Amino acid sequence: MPVYKTNSEEETIALGERLAKDVLPPRGLVLLQGNLGAGKTTLVKGIARGRLACPPDEVSSPTFTLIHEYGEPVRVYHIDLYRLEHERQVATLGIEELLDRDALVIIEWGEKFPRLWPRDRVEIRIERHEGDQRGFVTTATNAS
Ligand SMILES: Nc1ncnc2c1ncn2[C@@H]1O[C@H](COP(=O)(O)OP(=O)(O)O)[C@@H](O)[C@H]1O
Ligand SMILES: [Mg+2]
């Protein structure tokens, strides 16, 4: 999968929408990697819209709530592990069970717990460039 670039928050939302419609699998795990303020949550705003789950302004950071659900039925689970420190804390969230559902499971800060994730997943690494420019490097790992 290629590298994408955006120059504003709006462009990142539009990119998320396009990825949701044309690039991301129908269901399964998406790990979003990038520093604080890189644009992970902003990308999820677009993905949620692309999956017809909810408008962008209903997406907010699950930093304290840990898991947000978008859509009825839920089409996107949005998880933020920034505040968790131990694998056993993550285990109590029941993410494995969410991965069996017919939805995307998008995780911010999943790289803190590399041993927990199935191999079959999409990773999107967000790089901050000059000004408001961001690069989105996508890789798909497929178990099959
Ligand atoms: N190209 C861009 N894409 C996404 N966000 C951008 C961009 N340029 C500037 N921003 C700003 O960067 C911040 C990204 O925040 P957020 O998506 O919450 O990051 P993260 O979830 O990675 O911590 C927002 O304040 C947004 O307005
Ligand atoms: Mg975030």
Express each pLDDT in 16-33 by its tens digit: 999 999 999 999 999 999
Compute the distance from residue 132 Cα to the ligand 1 centre, in Å: 8
Domain ranges, ordered by start, for the chain: 25-112
CB of 9 within 6 A of ligand 1: the answer is: yes
| CATH class name, domain 25-112 | alpha beta
**Residue 131 to residues 14, 38, 39, 117, Cα–Cα distance (Å):** 19, 12, 13, 33
Is 115 within 8 Å of 91 (Cβ atoms)? no
Instruction: Please determine, for residue 144, whether its predicted confidence score (pLDDT) is greater than 50.
Output: no
* Ligand 1 center–CA 31 separation, angstroms: 17
Mean pLDDT of the chain: 96
Burial grade of 59 (CB within 10 A; 0-12, 13-18, 19 or more): buried
Q: Are strands 121-128 and 134-141 parallel, antiparallel or unpaired?
A: antiparallel
Q: Does residue 143 register a pLDDT over 60?
A: no
